[in-house]
Amino acid sequence: MTDIQERAKRVKMLLMDVDGVLTDGRLWNVPDGTGNMVETKGFDSQDGIALQWLNWKGIKTGLISGRVSPATAVRAAQCKFAYVYQGHIEKIPILDEILADAGIDKDSVAYIGDDLTDVVVMHRVGFAIATANARPEVKREAHYVTQAPGGQGAVREAIELIMRAQGFWPEILAKYEIASS
């Protein structure tokens, strides 16, 4: 088993950034019903179903974002995130709070990031993942770099890697009546 598979096998919690990870990083300002501008974002539906699989298997999920966005809060609720922290550029105190609350060792945590503010968290978890669209400095610090960019299946790719390493993939396929290969 490779180092990446060993790290993925230990994951009991998946944390992530939002912009550039769950989204492609673009922000749209659109008018609401009264003409006020409201920020929104696009999320990948395949990331969403994969986040549900983690929930089914008891693997907790969470996000730590520097930006505050109602769209992020709605998406986090849809995907049943256990931890949702927005408006936090300093992510280490939040990581420490999450670990204490969950009672999970940092070596059992995976984190997906794309920008410089994510590296400090990546250095403190057992499985550091960078998206394909991450800054080069972030990719250098990651244990694994996804082939898919953020907002376009990077989270799904990471989750499938975790599901396979933990032996859950055949069960996921069977749920959808797909034969394992």
Question: Domains of the chain by range and CATH?
Answer: 3-169 (3.40.50.1000)
Closest by Cα among 84, 44, 41, 86 to 61: 84
The token duo for 100 is 């204490």
- Residue 181 pLDDT greater than 90, yes or no: no
Average pLDDT over residues 124-147: 98
Average pLDDT over residues 103-111: 97
Average pLDDT over residues 119-123: 98
CA distance 161 to 2: 12
Closest by Cα among 121, 132, 177 to 154: 132
Please state, as a whole number, how many other Cβ atoms lie within 10 Å of the Cβ of residue 67.
Answer: 15
Rounded percentage of the chain residues whose pLDDT exceeds 70: 99
Question: What confidence category does residue 17 fall into, taking pLDDT thresholds of 50, 70 and 90?
Answer: very high
Whole-number average pLDDT of the chain: 95
Q: Nearest 10 degrees: CA dihedral of 120, 39, 48, 139?
A: -30
Residue whose entry in the numeric block shows the structure tokens 């179903």: 49
CA distance 9 to 106: 14
Strands 37-40 and 28-31, by their bridges, are antiparallel
Weakest-pLDDT range from 66-75, 120-129, 136-145, 157-166: 66-75
The token duo for 145 is 């770099």
Helix (H) or strand (E) holding 15: strand 13-16
